[in-house]
Structure 1
Amino acid sequence: MEAFLVSTGLVALGEMGDKTQLLALMLAARFRRPAPIVLGILVATLLNHAAAGAVGGWVAAQLGPDLLRWVIGGGFLAMAVWMLVPDSLDEDTEGGTQRWGVFGTTLVAFFLAEMGDKTQIATVALAARYPSLVAVVAGTTLGMMLANVPAVFLGDAVSRRINMRLVHTIAAAVFALLGVLTLLNVGQLF
Structure 2
Amino acid sequence: MDQLGSLVGAFLLVFLAEFGDKSQLVCMTLSARYRPLPVILGAVVAFAILNVLAVAVGSVASAWLPRSAVLCVVALLFLWFGLQSFNAEEDDEDGSPAVSGKSVFLSALIMLFFAELGDKTQLAVMGLASTEPAVPVWLGATIALVATSLIGVIAGRALMRYVSVVWLHRASGVLFIVFALYAGSEAFLLLL
Fold shared per TM-score above 0.5: yes
Q: Which of the numbers 64, 87, 99 marks the counterpart of 1:62?
A: 64
Aligned to 1:148: 149
Distance (Å, rounded) in 2 between the aligned partners of 1:96 and 1:63: 41
The question of 1:27 aligning with 2:30 is answered yes
Give the distance between the partners of 1:97 and 1:8, measured in 2 at CA: 32
Structure 1 counterpart of 2:128, from 126, 129, 134: 126
Displacement of 1:126 in angstroms is: 1.1
**What's the TM-score once normalised by structure 2's chain length?**
0.89
* Cα displacement string for residues 117-168 of structure 1 (whole angstroms, at most 9, x for unaligned residues): 12111111111121x2111111101111121101101211112211112111
- Among 74, 94, 97, the alignment partner of 1:94 is 97
User: What SS is found at the alignment partner of 1:17?
Assistant: coil
Instruction: Name which of 115, 118, 137 aligns with 1:116.
Output: 118
Q: C-alpha displacement at 1:96, in angstroms?
A: 3.7
TM-score for both structures, normalised by structure 1 = 0.90
Computed over aligned residues only, the root mean square deviation of the Cα atoms, in angstroms, reads 1.7
Q: Distance in 2 between matches of 1:160 and 1:118?
A: 25
Give secondary structure in 1 for the equivalent of 2:186.
Answer: coil
Cα pair distance change 1:95/1:3, threshold 3 Å: farther
Matched, 1:45 2:47: yes
Match of 1:11 in 2: 14
Cα 1:110–1:6 change in 2 (3 A) is: same
Task: Extract structure 1 runs of 4+ deviating beyond 4 A.
Answer: none
Equivalent position amino acid for 1:182 in 2: A
> Aligned partners of 1:10 and 1:4: how far apart in 2?
10
| Count of aligned residue pairs for this structure pair | 183
Letter in 1 for 2:81: M
Matched, 1:2 2:15: no
Unaligned residue ranges in structure 1 (runs of 5+): none
Structure 1 residue 82: Cα displacement: 2.6
Does the 8 Å CA contact 1:95/1:105 hold for their aligned counterparts? Answer: no
Query: Is it true that 1:158 corresponds to 2:159 in the alignment?
Result: yes
Partners of 1:179 and 1:26 lie apart in 2 by 34
Tell me the equivalent position of 1:169.
Answer: 170
Point out where structure 2 has 5 or more consecutive residues left out of the alignment.
none
Amino acid at match of 1:79: F
Note the alpha carbon deviations across 1:76-112, whole angstroms, 9 max, x for none. 1011023232344473x5254022x111111111111
After superposition, the Cα gap between the structure-2 partners of 1:90 and 1:77, relative to the gap in structure 1 and judged at 3 Å, is farther
